[in-house]
Amino acid sequence: MSVFRGAGVAIATPMHEDLSVNYEEFARLIDFQIEKGTDAIIVCGTTGESATMTEEEHIDVIRFCVKHVAHRVPVIAGAGSNATDTAVYLSKEAEAAGADAILSVTPYYNKATQNGLIAHFTAVADAVKLPVILYNVPSRTGCNIQPETVVAMCRDTKNIVGIKDATGSLAQTTKMMSLAKAAGVEIELYSGEDGLIVPIMSLGGLGVISVLSNVAPTQTHDLCMAYLNGDTKKAADMQLEVLPLVDALFCEVNPIPVKRALSLIGFDCDAIRLPLTRIEPAHEKQLVDAMRGYGLIK
């Protein structure tokens, strides 16, 4: 049974002006997501600014999210690190907090070999009983999990179940899924690119782990469900319609635009931790225009 099917939100972390976590607003954002049809909450990922959190904050945010979600949808905890011991520690704490699965990012900066990646992710998976979803985002980490490596890990380690694919390379995704099929290996594939939801689902994807879902949860869920229910034309039309908004949400590095977008729809979410800074005026205009064009604001 898959961890989830449909649209999982890579949820932002609201913060006060002093940059402490705003748990009251975080609770409101979680409730909004669930009420609007989001199929899973992915907490402490890139969009959640986990890279700027202390380990204590990271664990506290996961605990709060799990408790507030209260089993309404699956909670997938970002628990990656470039240090294997830290990734293992965060994964154990996420499991203890009650998370339903782990999202484990490729070690950044160190740029491990493929054998190093296998050793890293296997150590994480062996430390917990939860399903582990790999997170491959080479544009941020400088390290790419090759298709053969993904297939080998999903074959050889029982609880490495799938991957959030944010490579942006459909050729690589196609090769990975082809190798998996030839080897009889099941891979739970999730798009990590909001602009490629339908193409990745056409290769066997189960949905998306989405930035877009922060501000358009119902639409992102409906897009995924249209595809899963066999209405590929509707899904494709929805994918094309949302592309200007997706482009605007990535006009600066994530999560700068999406935190501003959340503020524009009524959440106290402008504060962002350095080295990220608030959105620049020209990009804010692009974002506002795209949100207005998509009907999110007037």
Tell me the per-residue pLDDT of 82-113, one tens digit each, with 9 for 90 and over.
999 999 999 999 999 999 999 999 999 998 99
* pTM for this prediction: 0.96
Assigned domain for 280 exists: no
> Taking the C-alpha atoms of 219, 134, 183 and 123 in order, what is their torsion angle to the nearest 10 degrees?
-160
Angstrom distances, CA of residue 182 to CA of 146, 159, 177, 185: 16, 20, 9, 8
Assigned domain for 23 exists: yes
CATH number for the domain harbouring residue 166: 3.20.20.70
CA distance 131 to 104: 10
Query: Confidence class of residue 70 from pLDDT cuts 50, 70 and 90?
Result: very high
Assigned domain for 113 exists: yes
Q: Tell me the chain's radius of gyration from C-alpha atoms.
A: 18
Assigned domain for 236 exists: no
- Which DSSP category does 191 fall into? E
- What is the chain's mean pLDDT, rounded? 97
Assigned domain for 246 exists: no
**Amino acid at residue number 52:** T
Angstrom distances, CA of residue 270 to CA of 116, 251, 279: 38, 16, 9
Report the domain count for the chain.
1
CA distance 275 to 273: 6
Q: Which domain holds residue 94?
A: 6-231
Res 1: pLDDT:
81
Question: Average pLDDT for residues 71-89, to the nearest whole number?
Answer: 97
| Residues noted as catalytic | 135, 164
Closest residue by Cα to residue 48 from 31, 35, 30 = 30
Assigned domain for 267 exists: no
CA distance 7 to 4: 8
Assigned domain for 255 exists: no
Assigned domain for 88 exists: yes
